[in-house]
Structure 1
Amino acid sequence: MAGELQRRLMERRERQELDRMLRAASAVVTARTLASAEVPDGVLEAVRGFWSTSAEFDATLNDDAPDELLDSWVEELLARHGFLTSAFLFTDLDLAPWIEFEMPPAWFSSVRRAQESSWVFLRSDLGAVAAVSEQEYRFEFLVSHLT
């Protein structure tokens, strides 16, 4: 009984967090989600590699950069790697591990309001995964092409 109560409580908290994220990114979020089982194994391997201390980042930006510069930096880097019209964002929620969003001009500010840091993106065609992580004194951008 205690296990069931804990599960329901966790599910309720996740629903609240998902609702908050969807409201914060309402300008760009779509109704599409991906379950963990729909994500290719290579994505998880690549993301694990991103968090390795030996990972080599593709670009950096000082963490004192204004939000507008961070937004345009992320958008430009993702566009260079084929993230053009829509992508998935990793949420770390069991209910909806990956939520899709559209990428019109200035889209990243909505995503940043929905999730404060350490963004992991999956291209809609599942062909690439990228991460932006705030480290000490800088943001780091990492990408892995899967196909």
Structure 2
Amino acid sequence: MDSRLRQKLAERREKAALAGIEAGLGDLRPGGALEPGAVPAWVGEAIERTWDIFTEPAERLRDDTPPERLDAWLEDLLTTQGLTGRVHLASHLGILPWLECRAPGRADLARVRGAIEEPWMFLSSSLDTLVVTEGEYHYEAHVLRGGS
């Protein structure tokens, strides 16, 4: 299979995945997104730091926490870090890596968790604060600021 055909197939898969994410997010997603080149360089570097086993998370939560408590924890975390109003949510897709959405409240976070695979990453609309949450043995939250 030639590379052009592979690229078209990959694009088609990503478009289908994006449609599924958007359907899952529903009215949380008014439209808009950060194109791949619009994401500040510090964001990728910060995400890589969260993968380092020596990087301590800002907060932890047991992985056997009931979903309602997980959603409350996520909502409190986002609010405390000032991620309110509009935010960017990582899609994990190359075509539109960061989707603009309304900051999810407690009742909305189950939809976010259902539409987007872990890690759940939220970037402030001002592009200066990043919250990365992930659960393996426990949920960890990393809070990173532009240039930090």
TM range (shorter): over 0.9
Alpha-carbon distance in structure 2 between the residues aligned to 1:134 and 1:72:
15
How far residue 103 of structure 1 moved from its aligned partner, in angstroms, is 2.1
Residue number in structure 2 paired with 1:80: 80
Alpha-carbon distance in structure 2 between the residues aligned to 1:102 and 1:110:
12
Residue number in structure 2 paired with 1:96: 96
- C-alpha distance after superposition, 1:58-94 (max 9, x if no partner): 1111111111111110110111111011211111211
Residue number in structure 2 paired with 1:50: 50
Residue number in structure 2 paired with 1:108: 109
Residue number in structure 2 paired with 1:8: 8
RMSD: 1.4
1:32-71 map, 5 Å:
32-71=32-71
Residue number in structure 1 paired with 2:28: 28
Instruction: Give the alignment's TM-score, normalised by structure 2.
Output: 0.93
Alignment partner of 1:56: what SS? coil
Query: Unpaired segments of 5 or more residues in structure 2?
Result: none
Count of equivalent residues: 146
Residue number in structure 2 paired with 1:128: 129
Query: Unpaired segments of 5 or more residues in structure 1?
Result: none
How far residue 2 of structure 1 moved from its aligned partner, in angstroms, is 1.2
Q: Which moved more, 1:87-96 or 1:3-12?
A: 87-96
| Aligned residue type for 2:31 | A
Q: Which of structure 1's runs of 4+ aligned residues deviate more than 6 A?
A: none
| Aligned residue type for 1:50 | T
Residues 75 and 104 in structure 2, CA contact (< 8 A), matched pair in contact too: no
How far residue 35 of structure 1 moved from its aligned partner, in angstroms, is 1.3
How far residue 104 of structure 1 moved from its aligned partner, in angstroms, is 5.1
Residues 28 and 101 in structure 2, CA contact (< 8 A), matched pair in contact too: yes
Over the matched positions of the two proteins, sequence identity in percent amounts to 32
Alignment partner of 1:24: what SS? helix
Residues 28 and 110 in structure 1, CA contact (< 8 A), matched pair in contact too: no
How far residue 132 of structure 1 moved from its aligned partner, in angstroms, is 0.4
- C-alpha distance after superposition, 1:8-42 (max 9, x if no partner): 10001000100000000013112110012111111
How far residue 145 of structure 1 moved from its aligned partner, in angstroms, is 1.6
